[in-house]
Chains A and B, each alone.
Chain A
Amino acid sequence: MGTRASLEIEGLVKRYSSDVQIGPVSFRVEEGEFFSLLGTSGCGKTTILRCIAGFETPDEGRIILNGERLDTKAPHKRGVGLVFQNLTLFPHLTAAQNIGFGLALRKVPAAEVGRRVEAMLELVGLRGLGARMPNQLSGGQQQRVALARSLVLEPPLMLMDEPLSSLDLKLRLQMREELRQLQRRLHKTTIFVTHDQGEALALSDRIAVLSVGRIEQIGAPAEVYAAPVSCFVADFIGSSNLLASEIVARRGEEVEIVTAAGLRLSARWRANGDARAVTALIRPDAVRLLPEGPDGAQVPNSFAARVVDVTFLGEDIQLRVTVEEKETLLICQKSAGLPKALSPSQSLRIHVEPSDIFLLSR
C-alpha cells in the first residue's frame, strides 16, 4: 500500500434505531486532500469516521480505499491512522515507546524503530522528549505524540477526530497552524472531524458540512462561506443575518425584495428559476456604516438604524441595530476603522451592497 490514497464512501448508512439514522452519505476524498467533516455534535461526523476506522459497522454502503474494499477488513488490519479527541497515549509507555508501538507489532528491527521514532519526534517538534512519560507532557505535546504514533506507520489515510478540542484556546490555534504546516509538507490524505468552523475553514482543502445525519454541502472553504446552498450552511459557517423575504420586482439579475418585517432591499438573483419566497443572507461584515447626512440617502440599500447593543471583541466590534425600526441586524466592524465610540440608542446610517445580499430559495 502506498503512503497516500483516495477514499470513496458510497451510500454509507448507520442506523441507531428506527428513527435515528446517519446517512446515506457519499463522498470522495482525493489523494493528498485535507477533507473536513464539519457539523454540530450528534450530526454523525464521528460515526462516519469510526466506520472508516472500523469501530462501527455500517448498516449499508461501501468504503473503498484505493479501489479496495475497506469496510470488510478487521479494524486492526485497516492500516488507517487515527488521532482521537481525548488524549490516548499509553500511560505505561514513554513517548518514544508510544510512537514505536505499531512498529514493534510489525516486527520492525529495533534499530530501525529507534531511527524512525527519532525522525518522528523531530517532525512533530519534540526532539529530546522521547524518554518522557505521557503524564510529563503537556496536552499539546501528548497530541503531537499521538499524531506521530499514527504517522510513523505511514498510513495511506489519516483520520482525526477533533484532535484539538481537548486543548485550551491559545494552544489550539498554535496546533492548528502546526497541523497546517505538517499537511503542506506531507500531503497526507486526511479526514478531519470538527465542530469548529474556524478550524475547518483554516485547514481544509474541502469541507463537507453535515446537518443531522446528512451532508448539506461539499466545497472549498471560500465556496462554502461565500455561496452556501442552504440556510443551514449559511447559518453554520460564519455568523449571518437570515431574513425571510419575498421577491416583488425583477429586472434581469437585479431584484427588489421585501422582508417579512417590511424592509425593502435591492439584491442580485444569481440562481435560475422564478421562486418568489427567498431567504436573504447578509454577512455581518458586509454591512457598512455611513457618515450621517443627506448625501447618504442617495445610495441604494442605505437605511437609518439605531444601535441596540455593542459588544467589544478586541479586533472587531459587534453591533446589534434595528433598521428603520423594522429588522434587527447583526453588524461586525473592524474596531480600528470606527470613527468614534458607539453606544446603545445611538443613530447610524448603514449600507449594504446589493451584490453582498445572497438569496437562497426557500
Chain B
Amino acid sequence: MSSQVIYSSSPAERRAAGRAQVAPWVWLAGPYALVLFLFLAIPLCNLVVLSLFRYSATSIWTPELTASNYARILDGFYIALTLRSLWIGAITTALCVVLGYPLAYFLARCSPRALSLGLFLLVLPLMVSTVIRAFGWIILLGREGAINSLLRALGIGEPLGMLYSEGSVIVALVQYVLPLMVLPLMAAIERIPLSLEEAAVNLGSSAATVFRRLIFPLSLPGLVSGILLSFTVSISVVVTPALLGGRKVRMFGNEIYDQVVTANNWPFASSLAVMMILLTFLAIALGLAAGARAGRRR
C-alpha cells in the first residue's frame, strides 16, 4: 500500500491523472525571467537601436542609421576615458584581492559569533547611500578635512591635496566593493575542511605554503566570482567619481550621464553604454574562461 502512495505522487502518475504539466523551471525562474525580459532585454534592444541613430538637436528619435557614434568613441579623449575606467577598475579589484583574502580567510575560520559580527561590519558600508558615503570621504580627505587638520595640528607641512584624484576615487571604491570580493571568497574558503590544512602542515607546509598550495587553488572559483563582481561594479560607478574625482578623474559612467543630461545626445550616450556593456561581457568571459581552465586542471 505504502509504495502505491509514493508512486501516485510521481510526475508520471500526475500526468496520468491529467493535471496541467509545467516544467519546474517555468514557475521557479519564470517570473524573474519575465521581469528581465520586459525591463532589461527590451530596453537594451532599444539602446542598441538608439546608438545607431544620428544625433539631432531637436528630437531624440531620429530614425536615420549611422555608425558615427561608434567612430567618435575612437577619438583620443574617449579612448583615454575607457582606459582610465578599466585602470581604476583593475586597481580597485587588485586592492580588494589583497585586502579581501586575509579577511575572507579570517571570517571563514572564526567562531560563529565573531562571524555574525564580522559580516555585519563588512556589509555595513553597503547600507549607507553612495552619496552620503562620498560626502564622508570628502570630510575625511578634503583640503580642510579631518586628515589635513590632524596633520596641521601635529605641525606637519603643507595640507595634502588628496581629494579629486584617482587615489581618492580608488579608496572610496575599495571600501564600496570589498564585500563583493570577500563574500564569495569566504564561501569558497569555508568549504575547505580545516583538516586539509592540518594535513598540509603535517606534511611540512609553512603557513605561506598552505596558502599557496592549498587555500589559493581550492578557493579559485570564489576568487574569480569576487574579481568579476568587483571589476564590473567598479568600472560602472557614477556617483563616486563625480563627487570624489572632480574634473580630472572622469569615468565611463560620468560621460554617459553628461551626454544624456547635459548634452542631450542620447544616441552617443547609447553607443558609450553599448561599449561598456561589451567590455563588461569581455571581462566576464575572460574571467569565466580562466576559472574553467583552473577547474579542469583540478
| One of A22-30, A78-86, A348-356 at the interface | A78-86
Chain A residues numbered 62-96 whose CB sits less than 8 Å from any CB in chain B: 75-82, 84, 86, 88, 90-92
The listed residue with most B CB atoms (<10 A of its CB), out of A79, A102, A146, is: A102
CB–CB B202/A81 < 8 A: yes
CB–CB B195/A76 < 8 A: no
CB–CB B204/A106 < 8 A: yes
Partner of A82, one of B199, B205, B206, B217: B199
CB–CB A105/B195 < 8 A: no
CB–CB A86/B203 < 8 A: no
Instruction: Determine the distance from Cα of A78 to Cα of B213 in the docked complex, in whole angstroms.
Output: 20
CB–CB B204/A76 < 8 A: yes
The listed residue with most A CB atoms (<10 A of its CB), out of B195, B196, B201, B204, is: B204
* Residues of chain B with a CB closer than 8 A to A146's CB: 199
Of the A-B pairs whose beta carbons lie under 8 Å apart in the complex, a sample of 29, sorted by A's number, is A53-B198, A54-B201, A55-B198, A55-B201, A76-B201, A76-B202, A76-B205, A78-B202, A82-B199, A84-B195, A84-B198, A88-B193, A88-B195, A88-B199, A90-B196, A90-B199, A90-B213, A91-B218, A91-B298, A92-B297, A92-B298, A101-B200, A101-B213, A105-B205, A106-B204, A133-B298, A149-B203, A150-B203, A153-B204
Partner of A105, one of B196, B203, B298: B203
Instruction: Determine the distance from Cα of A79 to Cα of B203 in the docked complex, in whole angstroms.
Output: 7
* Residues of chain A with a CB closer than 8 A to B175's CB: none
Q: Which B residues are within 8 Å of any A CB, using their own CB?
A: 193, 195-196, 198-206, 209, 213-214, 217-218, 297-298
* Residues of chain B with a CB closer than 8 A to A80's CB: 202
Main secondary structure of the interface of B (DSSP, over half): helix
Binary interface profile of A, 99-113, with partner B (CB < 8 Å = 1, else 0)?
001100110000000
* Residues of chain B with a CB closer than 8 A to A133's CB: 298
Partner of B196, one of A55, A79, A88, A153: A88
Chain A residues numbered 140-197 whose CB sits less than 8 Å from any CB in chain B: 146, 149-150, 153
Q: Number of contact residues on A: which range applies?
A: 20 to 34
CB–CB A77/B204 < 8 A: yes
In angstroms, how far is the closest chain B Cβ from the Cβ of A84?
Answer: 5
The listed residue with most A CB atoms (<10 A of its CB), out of B199, B201, B203, B297, is: B203
Instruction: Determine the distance from Cα of A49 to Cα of B201 in the docked complex, in whole angstroms.
Output: 15
In angstroms, how far is the closest chain B Cβ from the Cβ of A194?
Answer: 18
CB–CB A86/B202 < 8 A: no
In angstroms, how far is the closest chain A Cβ from the Cβ of B276?
Answer: 35
* Given A81-B202, A101-B203, A90:B214 Cβ within 8 A: yes
The listed residue with most A CB atoms (<10 A of its CB), out of B198, B205, B218, B297, is: B198
* Residues of chain A with a CB closer than 8 A to B204's CB: 76-77, 79, 102, 105-106, 153
Instruction: Determine the distance from Cα of A339 to Cα of B130 in the docked complex, in whole angstroms.
Output: 89
CB–CB B217/A92 < 8 A: yes
In angstroms, how far is the closest chain A Cβ from the Cβ of B194?
Answer: 10
CB–CB B218/A76 < 8 A: no
CB–CB B218/A92 < 8 A: yes
Instruction: Determine the distance from Cα of A150 to Cα of B202 in the docked complex, in whole angstroms.
Output: 9
In angstroms, how far is the closest chain B Cβ from the Cβ of A245?
Answer: 47
* Residues of chain B with a CB closer than 8 A to A92's CB: 217-218, 297-298
Instruction: Determine the distance from Cα of A101 to Cα of B196 in the docked complex, in whole angstroms.
Output: 12
* Residues of chain A with a CB closer than 8 A to B206's CB: 76
Instruction: Determine the distance from Cα of A149 to Cα of B199 in the docked complex, in whole angstroms.
Output: 10
* Residues of chain A with a CB closer than 8 A to B201's CB: 54-55, 75-76
Instruction: Determine the distance from Cα of A77 to Cα of B297 in the docked complex, in whole angstroms.
Output: 30
* Residues of chain B with a CB closer than 8 A to A86's CB: 193, 195
Instruction: Determine the distance from Cα of A105 to Cα of B204 in the docked complex, in whole angstroms.
Output: 7
Binary interface profile of A, 334-349, with partner B (CB < 8 Å = 1, else 0)?
0000000000000000
In the complex, residue of chain A having the shortest beta-carbon distance to the beta carbon of B203: A102
In the complex, residue of chain A having the shortest beta-carbon distance to the beta carbon of B197: A88
Given contacts A53-B202, A91-B218, list 12 more A-B pairs with CB under 8 A: A55-B201, A75-B202, A76-B203, A76-B204, A76-B206, A78-B202, A79-B204, A80-B202, A88-B198, A90-B196, A90-B200, A153-B204
In angstroms, how far is the closest chain B Cβ from the Cβ of A244?
Answer: 44
* Residues of chain B with a CB closer than 8 A to A79's CB: 204
* Residues of chain A with a CB closer than 8 A to B297's CB: 92
Instruction: Determine the distance from Cα of A69 to Cα of B21 in the docked complex, in whole angstroms.
Output: 72
In angstroms, how far is the closest chain A Cβ from the Cβ of B212?
Answer: 11
* Residues of chain A with a CB closer than 8 A to B199's CB: 82, 84, 88, 90, 146, 149
Instruction: Determine the distance from Cα of A263 to Cα of B283 in the docked complex, in whole angstroms.
Output: 86
* Residues of chain B with a CB closer than 8 A to A153's CB: 203-204
Instruction: Determine the distance from Cα of A118 to Cα of B57 in the docked complex, in whole angstroms.
Output: 77
In the complex, residue of chain B having the shortest beta-carbon distance to the beta carbon of A133: B298
In the complex, residue of chain B having the shortest beta-carbon distance to the beta carbon of A80: B202
* Residues of chain B with a CB closer than 8 A to A106's CB: 204
Closest 6 CB pairs of A and B: A102-B203, A88-B199, A92-B298, A82-B202, A76-B201, A88-B195
CB–CB A105/B202 < 8 A: no
Instruction: Determine the distance from Cα of A284 to Cα of B214 in the docked complex, in whole angstroms.
Output: 51
In the complex, residue of chain A having the shortest beta-carbon distance to the beta carbon of B218: A92
Instruction: Determine the distance from Cα of A19 to Cα of B83 in the docked complex, in whole angstroms.
Output: 65
Instruction: Determine the distance from Cα of A149 to Cα of B297 in the docked complex, in whole angstroms.
Output: 21
